[in-house]
Structure 1
Amino acid sequence: MNTFAAMLKEITFSEYLVLSNEVPLIDVRSPGEFLKGHIPFATNIPLFTNDERAKVGTVYKQQSKEKAIELGYTLVNPKLDQFITESESVAPAGKIAVHCWRGGMRSKSFAGHLSENGFETVYVIKGGYKAFRNHALESFKNEANICILGGYTGSAKTYILKELEQMGEQIIDLEGLANHKGSAFGNCGNQPTIEQFENDLFWKWKDLDYTKTIWVEDESHRIGSVNIPMNFFENMRNQLVLFLDIPREERARHLVNDYAQADKEMLADSVNRISKRLGGLDTQKALAHLAANEFYETAMITLIYYDKYYLRGLQNRKHDDIFPLKIQKIDFKQNAKKIIKHHATIVKTKHKTHSV
């Protein structure tokens, strides 16, 4: 595969972001690399399979760079027509961007092949996926006007966030990005890798107006099997918290509606996972209620643990940054309106205080 640099244009990842809505992106790394973490909305057309990449790497280490390149050509040449066909399906308009791990031989060779075979404009991302990762992680240091939506488990915070978004507010749904509901009962299915969670978070984060309020649900550093990037988490910890104070009975009823259709074996496993902190007697009671389809009673017992757990985390924040809002009923739309009104009052009060 010959490369003609004059037919290609190298651009930074920041420059690609400006073009991203009109120029599709191809990731030529191996399927394993792509699965671990990739730029959201990129299409994987791997130059090498996982096994092929491993063989090329072995030859590079044990023999020489030249021998590795020779093997690479041997493995790639039978796929050249396939690369064109797949790339045309991704970018029928003939404009495309390509990246590999560091913007090296893989992406430049692939891009050169596209240029030689009818593609009008082909960009190569300088620094490749590594440059994207550096850009993404660095962006979490950006100061932003974040407001944390807090509240005990079962307060329907995720549903309220969606209502806020419908009202035109900026939100980040961390639990949605993590594919997890944030408690032992929250596993919704396969979670992304930590790296992919960070990538998806950045893709949402990059489009927000940091001067306007960004609503984020209060979370611990870990959501299931993924971690919130430390810079982003520290940013969250320094923001004001609008705390929903909703009666436990009301929250238990909401949880029943949320989880009653869930697999009972999964729910029992979730109870057992918090058994040490819940206590032996309460664990037995919760499991007995669950077996008898008494979901409300199960929820009431487990919420005792979760309320204590959340309260401990809340106590680590500055008292002056916590603004309670008592709400008697879970009504997503009405509660979202109350939150907007309460937040406006908080901002106005804080502004007056700082002006004095």
Structure 2
Amino acid sequence: MFTNITVTELIPLIEKKQMTLIDVRSPIEFENFSIPTSINIPFFTNEERAEIGTIYNQVSETAARDRGLEIISAKLPDFIKKFKAINGEKTVFCWRGGMRSRTTATLLDLMNIHVHRLDGGIRAYRKWVIEQLEIIQLPPVAYVLSGLTGTGKTKILQTLQKEGYPVIDLEGMANHKGSIFGHIGQRPNNQKTFDALLVHRLREIQHAPFIMFESESSRVGKVTLPHFLLDLKGKSNFLMIELPIEERINEILEEYRPWDNQSECLAAFLKIKSRIHTPVANQIEQDLKSENYKQAVRLLLEYYYDKRYKQIEPQYPDSEKIIIHVKNIDEAIQVVKHVIPRKGSDQIIL
């Protein structure tokens, strides 16, 4: 017989990587929001779910259940086979821990495949995430990376995170680079997904002596940052990265690859074109169309992003700023590592 498991029982197993999570909702539900690290083995396809919903609303619950049984019976062997291929402990879930997860767990039990079933489904998990955002404790100190567009702040943080530093990669969690071009080549996450990723990362590093993150506005792509991060930012130590403009241009070209995303880059630029002096704006548009990307980036930096940064960047006392003037991003990484607490009494490897 399958066993029910609560969210609070499940979370430690997720964080210790001792549980495989299986979302049996339709692909469109899974793509919208799911528990991080879960995989999707849908009970119904998007079309099947829509059909059953229509029957439920227009005919009856009984007729919808009958149609659902008819659909799953036809594909049951393949459905079971996918679960058999997964080793170790498994937990299945749907929206509310209702019909789809219960039926899945029951069918698997008949085939001698034991699984847990998440009590309350992903709705209970979402409630847990919201509760965590209200009570989670942050380290008392923060280092915030700041600097003009193209100074490699995200790359620096991602490198440090791989080395065990307590980094919060906000743009990575949002799946958005934080500018009008930030969605290019990516599929931005929604608020639910961002919140879940943030909570798990904060729980992972909550006992570190400090945290590190990039200086962001209150929004990154589709998501809004929680107030406690914005409050902490206002009391943080700022590391201001300064790079030569040529390095910044090369970094932006490498990151955005406009030659692979020309139409998206042009469409994004048109959204801000009216904010730039007309002759310069027309030149940028022409450069994008003629694939003169280096010149387009240079003009965008000089006539839009650098000016905008200087207008919106909060002015903190000099005592809270550490200026890091370097030749390239690799050098910036080394200087940042030298500036912040390291090993010995300030050990931070997690």
The one-letter code matched in structure 2 to 1:108 is R
Aligned to 1:354: none
Structure 2 counterpart SS, 1:124: strand
SS of the residue 1:207 aligns to: helix
2:272 partner letter: I
Alignment of 1:215-254 (within 5 A): 215-224=212-221, 226-231=222-227, 233-235=229-231, 237-244=233-240, 246=242, 250-254=244-248
| Counterpart position of 1:172 | 168
**CA offset at residue 213 of structure 1?**
1.8
| Aligned counterpart for 1:13 among listed residues 3, 7, 10 | 7
Deviation at 1:301, TM superposition (A): 4.7
Question: One-letter code of the match for 2:72?
Answer: V
Instruction: For 1:77 and 1:301, locate their aligned partners in 2 and report how far apart those are by CA, in whole Å.
Output: 58
Q: 1:92 aligns with which of 87, 92, 96?
A: 87
Pick from 281, 284, 290 the counterpart of residue 282 of structure 2. Answer: 284
> How far did 1:167 drift?
4.2
Residue aligned with 2:204, SS: coil
Is contact 2:287–2:293 with CA below 8 Å preserved after alignment?
Answer: yes
Superposition pairs of residues 146-157 of structure 1, within 5 angstroms:
146-157=142-153
Q: Which amino acid aligns with 1:107?
A: S
Paired residue for 2:310? 311
Confirm or deny that 1:189 pairs with 2:182.
no
Matching residue of 1:139 = 132
Q: Distance in 1 between matches of 2:210 and 2:29?
A: 36
Which of the residues 157, 160, 165 maps onto 2:156? 160
The residue number in structure 2 matching 1:108 is 102
Kept in 1: contact 2:22–2:41 (CA 8 A): yes
Rate the CA distance shift 1:288–1:54 in 2: closer, same or farther, 3 A: closer
**Aligned with 1:140: secondary structure?**
helix
Residue among 27, 48, 54 paired with 2:50: 54
Query: What's the secondary structure of 1:274's corresponding residue?
Result: helix
Q: Is the 8 A contact 1:172 1:204 kept in 2?
A: yes
Aligned equivalents of 1:257 and 1:104: distance in 2? 49
Secondary structure in 1 matching 2:320 = strand
Structure 1 position 130, deviation (Å): 0.8
Distance apart, 1:36 and its partner CA: 1.0
1:256-271 matches, within 5 Å, as 256-259=250-253, 261-263=257-259, 266-271=264-269
Post-superposition offset of 1:86? 0.8
**Residues of 2 paired with 1:130 and 1:223: CA distance?**
24
Deviation at 1:98, TM superposition (A): 0.6
- Contact kept in structure 2, 1:147 and 1:214, CA below 8 Å: yes
Seq. identity, %: 30
> Secondary structure, in 3 states, of the residue corresponding to 1:14?
helix
Question: Once the 2 structures are TM-superposed, how far is the Cα of residue 129 of structure 1 from its aligned partner?
Answer: 0.8
In the alignment, is the contact (CA less than 8 A) between 1:245 and 1:324 conserved in 2?
Answer: no
> Is 1:45 aligned to residue 44 of structure 2?
no
Deviations 1:81-113 (A, max 9, x none): 222101111x234x3211010111211111111
1:215-256 C-alpha deviation (Å, 9 max, x unpaired): 1111123333x2134446545544414141526xx1343223
User: Helix, strand or coil for the counterpart of 2:149?
Assistant: coil
Question: What residue is the counterpart of 2:120 in the other structure?
Answer: 127
Describe the SS at the equivalent of 1:98.
strand
| Distance in 2 between residues matched to 1:322 and 1:173, nearest whole Å | 25
1:279 maps to a residue whose letter is H
User: Partners in 1 of 2:296 and 2:60 — Cα distance?
Assistant: 67
Per mean C-alpha deviation after superposition, the further-off stretch among 262-271 and 14-23 is: 262-271
- 8 Å contact kept, 2:148–2:306: yes
CA contact (8 A) 2:105 2:117 kept: yes
Residues 1:275 and 2:273 are matched in the alignment: yes
Distance 2:75 2:12 in 1: 31
TM score, norm. by length of structure 1: 0.80
Aligned residue pair count = 331
Change (3 A) 1:12 1:65: same
Q: Distance in 2 between matches of 1:62 and 1:294?
A: 55
2:111 is matched with which residue? 117
CA contact (8 A) 1:163 1:332 kept: no
**Residue 335, structure 1, aligned to residue 332, structure 2:** yes
* Deviates most, 68-77 or 32-41: 68-77
Say whether residues 1:82 and 2:75 are aligned partners. no
Note the C-alpha offset of 1:29. 0.7
Distance in 1, Cα, partners of 2:311 & 2:176 = 22
Structure 1 window deviating more from structure 2 (336-345 vs 32-41): it is: 336-345
CA positional deviation for 1:12: 1.3
What displacement does 1:306 show? 1.6
Relative to structure 1, is the Cα distance of residues 12 and 311 closer, same or farther in structure 2, using a 3 angstrom cutoff?
farther
Unaligned runs of at least 5 residues, structure 1: 1-6, 346-356
Which residue is equivalent to 1:204? 201
Bigger mean CA deviation after superposition, 103-112 or 141-150: 141-150
Q: What SS class does the counterpart of residue 150 from structure 2 fall into?
A: coil
Q: C-alpha separation between the residues in 2 aligned to 1:187 and 1:63? A: 42
Preserved CA contact (<8 Å) 1:252 1:300: no
